[in-house]
Amino acid sequence: MKFISTFKEKTDYQQNEHEKLVMLLNVTRNISREILLDRLLLLIMDEVKRVLDCDRCTVFIMDRERNELWSQVAHGAKEIRIPGDRGIAGHVAQTGIVLNIPDAYADDRFNPSIDKKTGYITRTILAVPMRNKMGEIIGVFQALNKRKGSFNNEDEELLNTISVIAATQIENAQLYKEQKKTFESLVETLASTIDARDPLTAGHSKRIAMYAENIAEIIGLSHQEKEILRIAALLHDLGKIAVREAVLTKEGKLTTKEFEHIQSHPRFTKRILDNINFSSALSQVPNIAAAHHERLDGSGYPFGLRDDQIPKLGKILAVVDVFDALTSKRHYRDRMEFDKVIKQLYISSGTHFEISYVDALLQFPLDKLVSIMEQENKWGLDEKHLAFLSSFTISDVYQALSQENPGDDQKELMSVFQIYYLREYLAESV
């Protein structure tokens, strides 16, 4: 910060004061940048560790419903949880009193069980409550093992100040996270409600979202592209709301007219999604969701787009949509034999599908495939089978199935896979 660097000529005492203010200002600026809760918490813990010159810092957040304190341990990782009224942090959360403990093991309130588990040796602890604007305790800051000596009064004041600043930022990040969750769960619920209008498509949108997510992982899409793909996958059949039920759930073959009516659904999907005020990050969702029946050679619908007119993520949806349709039981047929499914995808590559996404699908690990494919099925999965299948991909089972004289390994693979692929499908009723 240019402004800060202009201050000069100070006595030692004032230098110290000055440095602390600059430091606080920097801490504040740094944490004000982050709106994603997990990253924010890790950032705060890092800042405190540096500022207090100590070995560890944990920010515990109060979960009043469960009477627990939780904390983030690493990016994307699960949080850790401890009882909300025990140990040093629990004591601070309950009483709101600052605890500055020079010798942890001499203090009755200290709970040594985590040290025992991890081999870490806690010596000094400084724990201060974190309060929101209304003065309610919403968490605890806990610093461990000051590098030199014990935590002093200045450390207490510093940590108190940081906890005040951090509290508002944490509450904002929580609001943001809650709202994102609300939106996403509305999208998911909507998707499964639409699929459930016809029991035989139950779970379709959720499954293709998961297939697409795995392909995204395999071909290395960005975080943002993954998010767009997920939302577009969940909402791709939204237009089916506008398709007549009698046609949607008709048993047996459809007439040409009925087929055309069903084919209008991606157009409705686009029309409905175009009404949604998507955030700029998600602005491509309508175009991608509507493109799931387009084909590279322009023979698809609703717009007959050609290869480079079709959005990349739409091409991925096209592959997983057909894959899920063929591997699901439908009104007019059972699941297609698995090797025929793959053969069909390959035959249609270049005209219908982009071959690289079919290739990516073939790298799918079989344990994941079976888990996704059978998630609506009330009959469970055998953990041992999953462990076995995890060493193989779709490509492996496809090769085995295509073999005239498969080896013993291949036979075993096929037999385990077919336990799931050929069994009766039994979906949860709505």
Residue 257: CB minimum distance to a copy of itself, A: 17
Alpha carbon distance 315, 303 (integer Å): 14
Which one, of 221, 215, 151, lies nearest residue 372 by Cα? 215
Give how far Cα 116 sits from Cα of 106, 112, 121, 122, Å: 16, 6, 8, 10
Applying CB under 8 A, does 180 fall inside the site for a copy of itself? Answer: yes
Applying CB under 8 A, does 150 fall inside the site for a copy of itself? Answer: no
The site map against a copy of itself for 275-304 (x = CB under 8 A) is: xxxxxxxx----------------------
Rounded to 5°, the CA angle 242-213-349 comes to 80
**Among the listed residues 67, 113, 152, 185, the single contact to a copy of itself using CB under 8 A:** 185
Size of the site for a copy of itself (CB under 8 A): 67
Applying CB under 8 A, does 22 fall inside the site for a copy of itself? Answer: yes
Beta carbon nearer to a copy of itself, 272 or 355: 272
Helices (H) and strands (E) in the chain, counts: 18, 6
Residues 377-396 touching a copy of itself, rule: CB under 8 A, are none
Alpha carbon distance 258, 247 (integer Å): 6
Mark the segment that binds a copy of itself (CB under 8 A) among 176-184, 366-374, 401-409, 418-426.
176-184
Residue 30: CB minimum distance to a copy of itself, A: 10
Applying CB under 8 A, does 4 fall inside the site for a copy of itself? Answer: yes
Alpha carbon distance 276, 288 (integer Å): 14
Residue 186: CB minimum distance to a copy of itself, A: 5
CB contact at 8 A, 30 and 120: no
Residues 102-131 touching a copy of itself, rule: CB under 8 A, are none
Structure tokens at 76: 């994307």
Residue 321: CB minimum distance to a copy of itself, A: 21
Q: Which long-range contacts (CB under 8 A, 24 or more apart) does 401-410 make?
A: 401/337, 401/338, 401/339, 402/339, 402/343
Alpha carbon distance 5, 10 (integer Å): 13
Give 82's DSSP letter.
E
Alpha carbon distance 251, 363 (integer Å): 35
Applying CB under 8 A, does 415 fall inside the site for a copy of itself? Answer: no
The helix (H) or strand (E) run that includes residue 59 is strand 54-63
Rounded to 5°, the CA angle 347-351-356 comes to 75
Residues 217-256 touching a copy of itself, rule: CB under 8 A, are 238, 241-242, 244-246
Structure tokens at 131: 């309060």
Applying CB under 8 A, does 182 fall inside the site for a copy of itself? Answer: yes
Beta carbon nearer to a copy of itself, 34 or 55: 34
Applying CB under 8 A, does 100 fall inside the site for a copy of itself? Answer: no
Residue 295: CB minimum distance to a copy of itself, A: 27
**Among the listed residues 194, 202, 216, 400, the single contact to a copy of itself using CB under 8 A:** 194
Residues 29-68 touching a copy of itself, rule: CB under 8 A, are 29, 32-33, 35
**Among the listed residues 38, 55, 79, 184, the single contact to a copy of itself using CB under 8 A:** 184
**Among the listed residues 113, 168, 351, 415, the single contact to a copy of itself using CB under 8 A:** 168
Applying CB under 8 A, does 272 fall inside the site for a copy of itself? Answer: yes
Applying CB under 8 A, does 165 fall inside the site for a copy of itself? Answer: yes
Q: What is the DSSP string of 291-346?
A: TTT--TTS--SSS---GGGS-HHHHHHHHHHHHHHHTS-BTTB-PPPHHHHHHHHH
Which residues contact a copy of itself (rule: CB under 8 A)?
1-4, 6-7, 10, 14, 17-18, 20-22, 24-25, 28-29, 32-33, 35, 133, 157-158, 160-161, 164-165, 168-169, 172, 175-176, 178-190, 192-194, 196-197, 238, 241-242, 244-246, 272-273, 275-282, 430
